[in-house]
């Protein structure tokens, strides 16, 4: 069963002063953004490709090295462990496992994706809420750095893009499935309480990852990227989409590959309640791409939280500190309500 996502508006307009060389709204008002859907005529074998990728990734798990806990320490009351595991194409992935303080009831398991700036350290807030959270670094970044994979978003996003089989995003998605398996092995009693949270790069990966893995029960996608590639190729930005635009200008054949990595197309197949933060003003991830993902998430209980801006620090701030705290609390409560 599908239903329209609930729309929660914090601001209806985002006319912010700026000196950017790109149009951070792409000329869209809120009413227009709420009408953007996934691109028409997706590849006929889109689902087949991703289900086969999922099956291959899960089949590899028995042959991969068991995740190793390299070092642990207590920070601000929570247990933080450096983790490593082997993922797609035998790429070694590093990250952190953050577990709740002693005596805190375990509420669930959480895989947390990061933005295209990478991740230098984990966060502790989710574990104080009772979640055992795994924070993997995507291949190429920080604890998953490799000499053969770029660690800059505009270069990373075109790595291996010549075919759908070799595109780097395929391995990045598989890493999240493997992260879920690690958490479940560590906490088998919580297998039915597995969730995902990711923003920007991690939001786009989440939309690509979630439809094919029934283990996840609820998700939050913050200002997700990779949505509606035809629009991403049309509108200049200051993020990874600009790397794709420039590459596609001289390699138009990659447009066919991109059709398999459209997070808005994938979002149409997500079957769990998902909350999206979608921004009216964003120079890095174009707003119509974000809303294409958000509007395509049609599982009952899904929400679109419209925020005034992202990837931008307006002065003075558009939202007060209390409003930002409510937004963050709303994200936490959405996951906890599962």
- pLDDT (tens digit per residue) in 32-79: 999 999 999 999 999 999 999 999 999 988 766 667 778 888 888 899
DSSP string, 126-171: HHHTTEEEEEEPPTTSGGG-BTTB--SHHHHTTTTTTSTTT-HHHH
CA nearest neighbour of 1 among 337, 306, 280, 271: 271
What are the domain boundaries of the chain? Answer: 6-336
**pLDDT value for 102:** 86
Write out pLDDT tens, residues 88-106.
999 999 999 999 988 889 9
**pLDDT value for 312:** 95
- Identify the residue with better confidence: 315 or 43: 43
Average pLDDT over residues 2-24: 90
**pLDDT value for 66:** 62
Write the CB contacts of 63 (distance below 8 Å, at least 6 apart in sequence). none
**pLDDT value for 304:** 98
How does the average pLDDT of the chain come out, rounded? 95
Q: Would you state the CATH architecture of domain 6-336?
A: 3-Layer(aba) Sandwich (3.40)
Length of the chain in terms of residues written: 338
d(CA 223, CA 243): 18
Average pLDDT over residues 125-139: 96
d(CA 77, CA 164): 44
């Amino acid at each position: 069963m599908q239903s329209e996502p609930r729309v929660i508006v914090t601001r209806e307009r985002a006319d912010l002063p700026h000196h950017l060389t790109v149009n951070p709204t792409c000329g869209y008002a809120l009413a227009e953004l709420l009408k953007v859907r996934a691109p028409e005529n997706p590849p006929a074998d889109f689902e087949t490709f991703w289900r086969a990728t999922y099956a291959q990734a899960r089949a590899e798990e028995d042959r991969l090295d068991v995740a190793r806990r390299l070092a642990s320490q207590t920070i601000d009351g929570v247990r933080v462990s450096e983790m490593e595991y082997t993922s797609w194409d035998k790429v070694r992935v590093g990250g952190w496992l953050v577990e709740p303080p002693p005596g805190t009831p375990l509420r669930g398991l959480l895989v947390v994706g990061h933005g295209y700036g990478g991740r230098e350290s984990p966060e502790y807030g989710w574990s104080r809420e009772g979640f055992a959270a795994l924070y993997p670094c995507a291949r190429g970044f920080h604890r998953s750095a490799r000499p053969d994979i770029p660690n800059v978003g505009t270069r990373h996003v075109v790595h291996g893009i010549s075919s759908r089989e070799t595109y780097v995003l395929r391995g990045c998605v598989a890493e999240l499935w493997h992260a879920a398996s690690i958490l479940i092995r560590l906490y088998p009693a919580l297998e039915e309480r597995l969730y995902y949270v990711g923003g920007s790069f991690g939001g786009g990966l989440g939309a690509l990852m979630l439809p094919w893995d029934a283990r996840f029960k609820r998700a939050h996608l913050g200002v997700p990227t990779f949505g509606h590639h035809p629009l991403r190729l049309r509108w200049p930005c200051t993020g990874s989409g600009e790397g794709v635009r420039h590459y596609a200008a001289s390699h138009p054949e990659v447009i066919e590959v991109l059709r398999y990595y459209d997070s808005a197309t994938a979002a149409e197949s997500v079957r769990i309640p998902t909350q999206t933060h979608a921004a009216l003003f964003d120079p890095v991830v174009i707003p119509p791409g974000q809303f294409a993902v958000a509007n395509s998430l049609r599982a009952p209980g899904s929400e679109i939280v419209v925020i005034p801006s992202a990837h931008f620090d307006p002065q003075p701030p558009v939202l007060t500190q209390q409003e930002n705290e409510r937004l963050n609390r709303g994200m936490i409560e959405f996951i906890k309500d599962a």
